[in-house]
Structure 1
Amino acid sequence: MQLYHHPYSMDSQKVRIALEEKGIDYTSYHVNPLTGKNMDVPFFRINPSAKLPVFQNGSHIIFHAIDIIQYIERLSVSLNGEENPISSKVMEWVERIESWNPKLFTLTHIPDKYRLFVSKFIRRVVISRMVEAPDLACLYHVKLREAYETEDNLKGPMNLQRSEEKLSSLLDDAEIQLSATTYLVGEDFTTADSMFVPILARITLLDLEEKYISCRPKITAYYDLVKRRPSYKKVIGKYFAGWRKYRTLLKTMCFLCIRSMFGKY
């Protein structure tokens, strides 16, 4: 089993936490979306959406995080003989969490000079790959159009407001639930938690913990508990805990600056 992912990708974090919690072995391949590696021709031929993660088990390839996680749950049943692991309550939380798109929220809270620098670099990567693979030009053009549409969406304040309201509603409901249970669905860590924890990690990475987490005591206690789990330490803490986030981000920015300087896209 192979997983193409990257620490920056929230969906990748969701899938990796689920894999680690289930103790399923897999081969890890990093594909950095900020440097355009997800646009490389061999990867793009497999996955024209260019989104991460991508899970491959033999000839079986799955692209969407929620589909991968459900596959992992079924795989765990066959490997470990567990009972049906996904209850209706778990699925309710999974679907609710999956309905919030973090992209606009994330980009809005990144300083413009860094966001625009990366966006320009990615657009140049896409154009370069169109030249490399003319047979994929139409699909690459779709990604180029999406990049411009994203920039347009960032200019609309109502788009951000709706995203923030949806996030706050999700966190408020989680705060209520965590007043009654240790984890989102009872006393055991479930798929719902695998999906939810990366949202808290993203909020922390953007230095918005005070606004969204610290003001919710039950979520604060829950997050402190989760950060002690081996799965969190391996998937998120290794890259973003404390000073590590600066090291992780700095490596990518240095790579982008050097590539831009020499026009290597």
Structure 2
Amino acid sequence: MQLYHHPYSLDSQKVRMALEEKGIDYTSYHLNPLTGKNMNVAFFRMNPSAKLPVFQNGAHVIYRAFDIIQYIDRLAVHLSGEIVPVNTEVYQWMQKVDSWNPKMFTLTHTPIKYRTFVSKFIRRVLIARMAESPDLASMYHVKLREAYETEDRLKDPDIMKQSEEELSELLDDVEAQLNNGKYLAGDEFSPADSMFIPILARITLLDLDEEYINCRPRLLEYYALVKQRPSYKVVVGKFFSGWKKYRTLFKTSFFLCVRTLFRKY
């Protein structure tokens, strides 16, 4: 089993949390979306959406985090030989968490100068790949158009407001649900938690804890609890806890500056 992912990718974190929780071994391939590595020709041929993560088990390839986590859950049950009844509540919470798209929220809370620099670099990467692989030029052009459309959407304050409101509604629902148990679907950690925890980690990365987490006591208690899990420490803590966050971000910033200086896209 192979996983194409990166620590920066929120959906990648969701899948890796699920894999770590189930104790499933896999071969890891890092593709940094901030440096355009997910646009490399070999990966792009396999996955023209260029989105992370991608999970491959033999000839079976899955592209969507929600579907990958469901597959992992079924695989873990099969390997254990147990017959586990379908938990409707877990599935419903997975759907609820998956319905919120973090992309616009993340971008609108990223300093404009950094966001603009990365966006410009990615567009140059796409143009370079179009020249490198003419047979894929039309698909790369789709991604280039998407990049420009995203920049236009970021100028609309209503989009930012909508994303924030949807997140607040999700967190309020979780706050109420945590009155019924330690985790999203009761007292047992589930795939729903694997999907939700990276959202909290993203909020922390953007230094928005006070606004979204600390004001919700049940959620704050839950977050402290899950931070102690080995899966969190491996997937998130290893890269974004304390000074490690700055090391992780510095490495990417240095790469982008050097590549831009020498026009190596």
TM-score, length of structure 1 as denominator length: 0.99
Q: Are the equivalent residues in 2 in contact too, given 1:48–1:139 (CA < 8 A)?
A: yes
Number of the residue aligned with 2:209 = 209
Q: C-alpha deviations, 1:109-131, integer Å up to 9, x for none?
A: 00000000000000000000000
| CA distance in structure 2 between the partners assigned to 1:165 and 1:2 by the alignment | 36
| CA distance in structure 2 between the partners assigned to 1:109 and 1:85 by the alignment | 41
Residues matched between the structures, number: 265
Pairing 1:129–2:129 present = yes
Pairing 1:75–2:43 present = no
Moved more, 81-90 or 37-46: 81-90
What secondary structure is seen at the aligned counterpart in 2 of 1:179? Answer: helix
Pairing 1:245–2:245 present = yes
| CA distance in structure 1 between the partners assigned to 2:97 and 2:133 by the alignment | 36
| CA distance in structure 2 between the partners assigned to 1:177 and 1:242 by the alignment | 29
The 3 A distance-change label for structure 1 pair 176 and 38 is same
Q: Residues 30-179 of structure 1 correspond to what in structure 2 (within 5 A)?
A: 30-84=30-84, 86-179=86-179
The amino acid of 2:133's aligned partner reads A
The 3 A distance-change label for structure 1 pair 3 and 198 is same
Q: What RMSD in Å do the two structures reach over aligned CA positions?
A: 0.7
Q: C-alpha deviations, 1:53-96, integer Å up to 9, x for none?
A: 00011111110001111110111111012333651111111011
Q: What stretches of structure 2 of length at least 5 have no aligned partner? A: none
| CA distance in structure 1 between the partners assigned to 2:135 and 2:86 by the alignment | 41
What secondary structure is seen at the aligned counterpart in 2 of 1:223? Answer: helix
The amino acid of 1:210's aligned partner reads E
| CA distance in structure 2 between the partners assigned to 1:125 and 1:247 by the alignment | 24
Q: Residues 175-254 of structure 1 correspond to what in structure 2 (within 5 A)?
A: 175-254=175-254
| CA distance in structure 1 between the partners assigned to 2:85 and 2:117 by the alignment | 43
| CA distance in structure 2 between the partners assigned to 1:95 and 1:209 by the alignment | 24
Q: What stretches of structure 1 of length at least 5 have no aligned partner? A: none
Name the % identity.
70
What secondary structure is seen at the aligned counterpart in 2 of 1:8? Answer: coil
Number of the residue aligned with 1:260 = 260
What secondary structure is seen at the aligned counterpart in 2 of 1:55? Answer: strand
| CA distance in structure 2 between the partners assigned to 1:19 and 1:102 by the alignment | 21
TM-score, length of structure 2 as denominator length: 0.99
| CA distance in structure 1 between the partners assigned to 2:178 and 2:203 by the alignment | 18
The amino acid of 1:91's aligned partner reads Y
| CA distance in structure 1 between the partners assigned to 2:21 and 2:86 by the alignment | 14
